[in-house]
Amino acid sequence: MRAVTVTPGVADSLELVEDQPEPAPEEGAVLVEALAVGICGTDHEIISGQYGEAPPGERRLVIGHESLGRVLEDPTGTLQPGDLVAGIVRHPDPVPCPNCAVGEWDMCRNGRYTEHGIKALPGFARERWRIQPRFAVPLDRSLGQVGMLLEPTSIVAKAWDHIERIGHRAEWQPQTVLVTGAGPIGLLAALLASQRGLAVHVLDLATSGPKPDLVRALGATYHSVPVDQLDFEPDVVVECTGAPSVVLDVMYKAAPNGIVCLAGVSSGGRSIELDAGALNRALVLENNVVFGSVNANRRHWDIAAEALRRADQLWLGSLISRRVPVSGYADAYASGPDDIKVVLEFAV
């Protein structure tokens, strides 16, 4: 069968292979026909050779971690043939650490977890894949065109779960949210904020393209000014750019008792000047919390599936800039200037 693969660590080794073996039964009881995979920055970084790890004993890695498929068979009876599913990306480490032992693989302590399409497990960009029922997340039938957004939505569902847990350390009545960065993660973070009834502001550099309208369609306010020029102090910030100056600015900008969730990954290697004492003062004297958030566990995936079911399907569909059939995979993995989310389609 066909699969999109790379040789990990070798730049530009992306290749559509025709002779990928059928998924092994050990991969899980649920056999799934791939419908589509979403493409993100992680895929681009793997393709450029920055990281990625083939399964033990193999040279190539099937990529793809934002999955949408249709169940072909599930002898365990957990899912029915025809059900829409997405596969959870991360599997717990084998030790397991205290967090993985209770299903919190998103909080793995030892880094020995594995991830489909990224780290030692084959990805979902192949015509058929298998998965254990506990890693298969059912999707409402209405999500047949957009269900591959579940993986990025799980990331922001975890971020919101932790924001709320932190908020409830004291009386908490948040009103205003600032999301920095209007890529897929930022837009989905804004969607979840709007579903919570909060006043949502999204900040991004873009002044043209689809981002401003996508934000306004949520009933949110779009800004393309520097953070320090905003005329309000957000109760919650979800930082999705990873841009060092934005990261620092939002820490100062948060309201008293504010919560800053860092969900963007910086590349590092560039220094900017920082008055660490002033930043410490700003955080301590206002009880502010700054925390990082990555990945998601089964609970977050289920919360995300419900959030997508409740969302406007047309709005979700408009996040998808291009849908490319698998035969045009090279085009799908080349990023365009106005791309929000590009999707590689298998069976349609």
Residue number with CB closer to Zn ion (74 or 106): 106
CB atoms within 10 A of CB 83: 17
Per-residue contact flags (x/-) with Zn ion for residues 216 to 255, judged by CB under 5 A: ----------------------------------------
At closest approach, how far in Å is the CB of 54 from Zn ion? Answer: 21
Nearer CB in complex with Zn ion: 107/279: 107
Nearer to Zn ion, 105 or 346 (CB): 105
Least distance in Å: CB of 115 to Zn ion? Answer: 12
Report the candidate in 66, 63, 38, 67 with the shortest Cα–Cα distance to residue 53: 63
* Rounded least distance, CB 96 to Zn ion, Å: 5
Q: Lay out the site mask for Zn ion across 69-108 (x = CB under 5 A, - = otherwise).
A: ------------------------x---x--x-------x
Tell me the closest approach of the beta carbon of residue 194 to Zn ion, in angstroms: 33
Give the binding-site size for Zn ion (rule: CB under 5 A).
Answer: 4
| Residue (97 or 178) nearer to Zn ion, CB | 97
Binding mask 293-322 for Zn ion (x = CB under 5 A): ------------------------------
Residue 134: CB minimum distance to Zn ion, A: 16
Footprint on residues 159-218 left by Zn ion (CB under 5 A): none
**Interface mask (CB under 5 A) for Zn ion, residues 104-143, using x and -?**
----x-----------------------------------
Question: Least distance (Å) from Zn ion to the CB of residue 94?
Answer: 9
Q: Which tokens in the block code for residue 44?
A: 């681009």
- 106 or 345, CB closer to Zn ion? 106
Comparison of 3 and 100: residue with beta carbon closer to Zn ion: 100
Strand-strand pairing, 66-73 and 61-62: unpaired
- State in angstroms the smallest separation of the CB of 302 from Zn ion: 20
Binding residues vs Zn ion (CB under 5 A): 93, 97, 100, 108
